[in-house]
Amino acid sequence: MALGDLILVYLVLTLVAVCGGAWYADRQRRHFEPEPTDDSVFRCEKCGYVYTDDHDVDRSRCPQCGTGNQAFQF
């Protein structure tokens, strides 16, 4: 084989290995990450406690002090 062909084969194999490693790492990351939820985030206006509740709830009662709160907008 010519030197040019050897370099091309080496580069192609290296590129395939890098792409395969990236694909495997992304697959592993998705496997271990928690699934996103549709819960809304609430922050109590009285005590400052931050908590989540179902996405279909407009107002939620704080589990710490019992105050009703609106969903927190980021």
Question: Which residues make beta-bridge pairs with 42?
Answer: 51, 71
Q: Tell me the CB-side half-sphere exposure of residue 34, using CA atoms within 13 A.
A: 3
Q: Where are the alpha helices (DSSP H) in the chain?
A: 3-32
Q: How far apart are CA 26 and CA 18, in angstroms?
A: 12
- For residue 1 the two structure tokens come to 């084989």
- The whole-number pLDDT of residue 12 equals 97
- Cα four-point dihedral sign 58, 43, 49, 54: positive
- The whole-number pLDDT of residue 33 equals 78
In this predicted model, what pLDDT tens digit does every residue of 6-51 receive, in sequence order? 999 999 999 999 999 999 999 988 888 777 778 888 888 888 898 9
- The whole-number pLDDT of residue 1 equals 77
Predicted TM-score (pTM) of the model is 0.50
Sorted by where each begins, the domain ranges of the chain are 1-33, 40-70
- The whole-number pLDDT of residue 66 equals 84
